[in-house]
Structure 1
Amino acid sequence: MDDLSLLIDLHRDGARQGPGSDESTRLAVTLSGLRGRAGLRIADIGCGTGAATRVLARELDAHVTAVDVLPAFLDVLAQRLDKAGLAGRIEPLAVSMEALPFDEQGFDAIWSEGAIYNIGFEAGVQAWRRFLKPGGILAVSELTWLTAERPAELTDHWMREYPQVATAAEKMAQLERNGFSPIGYFPLGRDCWLDNYYRPMQARFDDFLARNGQSDAARAIVAAEQGEIGLYERNADFVSYGYYIARRVGG
């Protein structure tokens, strides 16, 4: 089994494939000003197994297109939609976020929790703007420095893994340069990382290793995840996901 297949196997059964919470999604919905509007069309890009997707469908009068490049995650989403009674309001779509088959100005809002890094924050902001109606909402969570200075081990790690990590001020400026007006921001709390993502993942490690025959590749993935968890636990004051809510401005 290759590394991608192993990562899918590790994360497929998780409620979330990255830090977040239903409460943070609801707060972003509140800040977006979308509540009370009828017949919304929303794209949730990089939705994974659909934790945020389901919140959007419950909170808003909306049809949600749930986009992920991995069909295995969308299969889990479909099963969870049936149980939640939301199947008629959410349309899964297996496609890369770099090749979205959407009409220009077709959506009232675009959501992406913890996934825009796959294309890069500014590249994603630039590419997805055209799919929003004038005044449409972009809501994304993105790895963000919480302070101007931080421990070297943290900076070194994330500059290797995701060089586009930056402060909220820098991310806001990128939004403004690319035709958006920021209307809300908040950093995710430690519970979004530890209680909702890291601890449940750690609880799956033993079964994951057993399913995969304690292979060297599976052990390497667990070791890498444990290393990232330890890094976060030591440095939670300095880094998180920032949740950015912005409105498309101009033509």
Structure 2
Amino acid sequence: MLATALGVTIHAVDSHQPFLGELRRRAEDAGVGSRIQAHCMEMSDIPAVFSSIDLLWSEGAAYNIGFADALARWAPALRSGGFVVVSELAWLSEAAPAAARDFFRAGYPDMKLTTENIRLAQEAGYRMLGTHNLPRAAWIDDYYEVLEPRATTLASHQDAGVRALAQETLKEIEIFETAGGSYGYVFYLLQRS
């Protein structure tokens, strides 16, 4: 989408080569394959490879190195005035149900309120341009509606590891359904000073 809209070379980074292969296929199908350069590497290594990024777009990858740490590590790779659009799982309310707090305390203990993430971004030298919460439907359509029946089927799998993953997935879906919108993915639009 970015290559089509902007008409420039896009450097795609992922640590999982099959995802990059799928991106290459889609880019070719969309007629923008020559504008996409894929790099199989860790997100934390971006400054070692790139030194003048205009726009760094990260969906769901900052958590691998921590939101604040990702912003600090990426800063040297951004040109002055460059932009970062980054999504991060965040508490949208201080009044989250105890079950949701417990679930994420075990699965993502570094999860913070949106306001805390904004403060962290500002402390890392970014100007906050805006935020956008991923809508509830984005969690359900083509994600949980596909994942839930698969996880239900695998919950009785003979392999204990598969069973555990399936049961954890079903627990996550249950938490989402009962959490009343107290958490979600937030996109932060930032500009490097």
TM over 0.5: yes
**Does residue 200 in structure 1 map to residue 114 in structure 2?**
no
Aligned to 1:67: 13
CA gap of 1:236–1:66, structure 2 versus 1, over 3 A, is farther
Percent identity over the alignment? 32
Aligned to 2:53: 107
CA RMSD of aligned residues (A): 1.8
Report the Cα offset of residue 202 of structure 1: 3.3
In the TM superposition, 1:10-89 aligns within 5 A as: 55-89=1-35
CA gap of 1:205–1:80, structure 2 versus 1, over 3 A, is farther
> Would the aligned equivalents of 2:85 and 2:189 in 1 still touch at CA under 8 Å?
yes
Instruction: State the number of aligned residues.
Output: 190
Aligned to 2:99: 153
1:152-187 CA-to-partner distances (Å, cap 9, x unmatched) read 111111122112211111111101101100001011
Pairing partner for 2:173 from 224, 229, 232 = 229
Letter matched to residue 140 of structure 1: V
Q: Under a length normalisation based on structure 2, what TM-score does the superposition of the two structures give?
A: 0.90
Measured in 2, the distance between the counterparts of 1:84 and 1:215 equals: 40
Letter matched to residue 103 of structure 1: F
In the TM superposition, 1:131-210 aligns within 5 A as: 131-202=77-148, 204-205=150-151
1:54-76 CA-to-partner distances (Å, cap 9, x unmatched) read x2222223211111111122122
Pairing partner for 1:130 from 76, 81, 95 = 76
Report the Cα offset of residue 99 of structure 1: 2.2
Measured in 2, the distance between the counterparts of 1:63 and 1:201 equals: 34
Measured in 1, the distance between the counterparts of 2:175 and 2:58 equals: 24
Measured in 2, the distance between the counterparts of 1:236 and 1:60 equals: 37
Q: Under a length normalisation based on structure 1, what TM-score does the superposition of the two structures give?
A: 0.70
CA gap of 1:156–1:135, structure 2 versus 1, over 3 A, is same
Letter matched to residue 168 of structure 1: T
| Structure 1 gap ranges (5+) | 1-54
Measured in 1, the distance between the counterparts of 2:3 and 2:152 equals: 34
| Structure 2 gap ranges (5+) | none
Aligned to 1:121: 67
